[in-house]
Structure 1
Amino acid sequence: MSTDLLARVRAASAAGTPSGAGRPAGAEEAATGNVPTAPGNAETVEALHTWLTRYEGHIARRLPSHVEAGAFLAAVRDRLPALEGCSPASILDAVLACASFGFIPDGREAVLTRDGALATFIPTYRGYVKAMHNSGFVTSVRVEMVYAGDEFTYEPTRPAPDDFVHRPNLDVPKDKRGEPRFAYAFAWLRGGDRSQPIILSSEDADEIRDLYSKAYQRARDAGTDDSFWHTHRLDMWRKSAIRRLYKLVPTSAEMRALEAVEEAAEAGRPQLDHAPDPEAAALVAEAERAARAAEGSQDVPSGTLKVKAKGRGRSKPKKQRGGRRGARGRA
């Protein structure tokens, strides 16, 4: 992506709220060619598709090599009807930020949604799990809901993994398992240790929502029920557990960027400022892999020293010269 286009997207996305009724933020700048232009609110979704096609090359270059551009762009096009009326630069900002993490915005790993006049990229709890796996510091992540009919115990004074038991009642349909009681998350770390589990009650989830979710606060103040805390409460409950967990385990640059991008969305700021740059992210990932490999090599016991044998007998090690002094010199 060219530096010029990137700067214009960031500047226009920072415009924030609409400048007039029915007019997207940044529309005046778009008319003069200073930011990427998009169809007006009255235009068809087909016109919006045509506009986005102009930037497909930039979007594809932002994607990690393992993500197929066609699948990503198809998911973006499916979301465009829900983004009509958003500022044109914020649509591109959200799409490029999502592409930087390699998440397909199909609702599983991430979504593209509207918050007022701004389009935003929101990672789901599954997106956080994927980023934790990508870090290389964890081998497995569990995030689950506990329902009233489940067997669940947690004894923090007992050693892991005996401190934690969850047995879902699988003999009954999901809608018969009772009300959700807790969300929990934990990770198995590279090396075999298990992290401390994070356990959030319904009251904990509501407190996090009320204190930290600006999207929920805006929806509540506007008298609408369209924030994710309104429409996908259990998923947001799970994601709250994951976001607390990641602070307790070794983290990667991607994980830190993911949280920063989501916080930018909550605050209505451009998200691309916090998304990983593809080239820089590749260098950081390579450095982190090298650090993990170096750290891991210290944990592996050294192999048995092989000595040459004459015939069938074992050869004797040669006498070391210099006695203790020589031994110390090689330590």
Structure 2
Amino acid sequence: MSTDLLARVRAAAAGTPSGASRPAGADADEASAGTVPTAPNNAETVDALHTWLTRYEGHIARRLPTHVEAGAFLAAVRDRLPALEGCSPASILDAVLACASFGFVPDGREAVLTRDGSLAVFIPTYRGFVKAMHNSGVVTSVRVEFVYPGDEFTYEPTRPAPDDFRHVPNLDLPKAKRGEPKFAYAFAWLRGGDRSQPVILSREDAEEIRDKYSRAYQRAVETGREDSFWHTDFWAMARKSAIRRLVKVVPTSAELRALEAVDDAAEAGRPQIDQAPDPEVAALVAEAERAAKAAEGSQDVPPARLPVKAKGRRSKGKKQRGGRRGARGRA
């Protein structure tokens, strides 16, 4: 993506205050000026947005990792456009580019594109964070579960892993009668067979995270909309919060750090493209990290032994010389 286009997207997206209204159908320059009129109905608005977005398909495709097919990604974006009607076009492009940088298809599984006031935002789901953890090459498996009333659960943090906790779900109880979860927990198995520290998140913990850190939740309360993800799917957000806490206790990576920063930017209403990894930059960072790990590893290798003279041959010589002297003395 050109530096010029990136600058325009950042400037236009940053200049759109949360809650303000911007016309749909504009490109990055037009979004700044607000000169493009909205279409008269939803279908035409979506078509106008899609037509506008196709101008940047090349830039979007270049952001995608090679294993993600551009057609499938763009089809998922088009499916989300009706939900983004009324968002500033610059914020839509910002969110789409950020999502593409991680290789997440915004179909609701690993990521979603959603609306926050007049801003379109890219939101990674808990599965997106799990994927990024697997991509680090250090994590082999991640578990995130809910504990319901009636389940058997014990947790003794002073015991060594994996005997510190045990969860046995009550599968005899129908889902309709299980009630709300009591809390969520998450842990990861690491390469080499070790298990991470488990993270346990109660409802009170989740509410504290929501109230303290989620600007999207606060804005929804202030405007009376009550349509944030914390309102519509509390326990899904609690599960994601458990995963985000788990990220802090497992070996991290540049991708994971960037994903946290992008998620935080969405909550704060800031442009996300600034936090997303550029493919070329990400490759350089990964190469630098591999080199750093190799350098650290070299410090653990014992220094090479210096060559020494063979003692056995020298001793044999002394013995022979001593033997000859002894023979002469006896003669």
For the criterion TM > 0.5, the same-fold answer is yes
Letter in 2 for 1:13: A
Letter in 1 for 2:114: T
TM-score under structure 1 length normalisation? 0.84
Q: Hey, what does 2:69 align to over in structure 1?
A: 68
Give 1:121-132 correspondences, 5 Å limit. Answer: 121-132=122-133
Deviations 1:259-311 (A, max 9, x none): 111111111111000100001112222344455577789999xxxxxxxxxxx
1:193 aligns with 2:181: no
Deviations 1:163-200 (A, max 9, x none): 11111122233222232001111111122211110001
Report the Cα distance in structure 2 between the residues aligned to 1:19 and 1:226, rounded to whole angstroms.
Answer: 13
TM-aligned CA deviation for residue 25 of structure 1 = 9.7
TM-score under structure 2 length normalisation? 0.84
Report the Cα distance in structure 1 between the residues aligned to 2:149 and 2:241, rounded to whole angstroms.
Answer: 20
TM-aligned CA deviation for residue 19 of structure 1 = 9.6
Distance 1:272 1:41, change over 3 A: farther
Report the Cα distance in structure 1 between the residues aligned to 2:222 and 2:279, rounded to whole angstroms.
Answer: 38
1:321 aligns with 2:300: no
Report the Cα distance in structure 2 between the residues aligned to 1:202 and 1:232, rounded to whole angstroms.
Answer: 13
Report the Cα distance in structure 2 between the residues aligned to 1:231 and 1:146, rounded to whole angstroms.
Answer: 20
Q: Hey, what does 1:9 align to over in structure 2?
A: 9
Letter in 1 for 2:309: R
Letter in 2 for 1:3: T
TM-aligned CA deviation for residue 37 of structure 1 = 8.3
Report the Cα distance in structure 2 between the residues aligned to 1:61 and 1:29, rounded to whole angstroms.
Answer: 18
Report the Cα distance in structure 2 between the residues aligned to 1:253 and 1:228, rounded to whole angstroms.
Answer: 26
Deviations 1:50-106 (A, max 9, x none): 111111111000001111111111110000000011011000000000000001101
User: Contact 1:112–1:121 at 8 Å: present in 2 too?
Assistant: yes
Report the Cα distance in structure 1 between the residues aligned to 2:297 and 2:155, rounded to whole angstroms.
Answer: 31
Distance 1:295 1:259, change over 3 A: same
Q: Secondary structure at the match of 2:285?
A: helix
Q: Hey, what does 2:320 align to over in structure 1?
A: none
Letter in 1 for 2:8: R
Distance 1:321 1:189, change over 3 A: same
Q: Could you tell me the percent identity over the aligned residues? A: 79
Report the Cα distance in structure 2 between the residues aligned to 1:27 and 1:44, rounded to whole angstroms.
Answer: 11
TM-aligned CA deviation for residue 24 of structure 1 = 4.1
1:141 aligns with 2:125: no
Note the residue ranges of structure 1 that are not aligned, 5 or more in a row.
301-318, 325-331
Report the Cα distance in structure 1 between the residues aligned to 2:275 and 2:54, rounded to whole angstroms.
Answer: 24
User: Contact 1:150–1:168 at 8 Å: present in 2 too?
Assistant: yes
Q: Hey, what does 2:323 align to over in structure 1?
A: none
Q: Secondary structure at the match of 1:55?
A: helix
Larger proportion of helix: 2
Q: Secondary structure at the match of 2:182?
A: strand
Q: Hey, what does 1:177 align to over in structure 2?
A: 178
Distance 1:18 1:290, change over 3 A: closer
Q: Secondary structure at the match of 1:107?
A: coil
Report the Cα distance in structure 1 between the residues aligned to 2:9 and 2:157, rounded to whole angstroms.
Answer: 48
TM-aligned CA deviation for residue 26 of structure 1 = 12
Report the Cα distance in structure 2 between the residues aligned to 1:9 and 1:61, rounded to whole angstroms.
Answer: 16
Q: How many residue pairs align between the two structures?
A: 304
Report the Cα distance in structure 2 between the residues aligned to 1:193 and 1:38, rounded to whole angstroms.
Answer: 56
Letter in 2 for 1:225: E
User: Contact 2:18–2:116 at 8 Å: present in 1 too?
Assistant: no
Q: 2:38 aligns with which of 16, 25, 40?
A: 40
Distance 1:190 1:287, change over 3 A: farther
Give 1:1-331 correspondences, 5 Å limit. Answer: 1-17=1-17, 22-24=21-23, 30-31=29-30, 40=38, 42=40, 43-289=44-290, 321-323=309-311
Letter in 2 for 1:5: L
RMSD: 2.8
Look at both structures and tell me which one has the larger radius of gyration over its CA atoms: 2
Q: Secondary structure at the match of 1:89?
A: helix
User: Contact 2:8–2:28 at 8 Å: present in 1 too?
Assistant: no
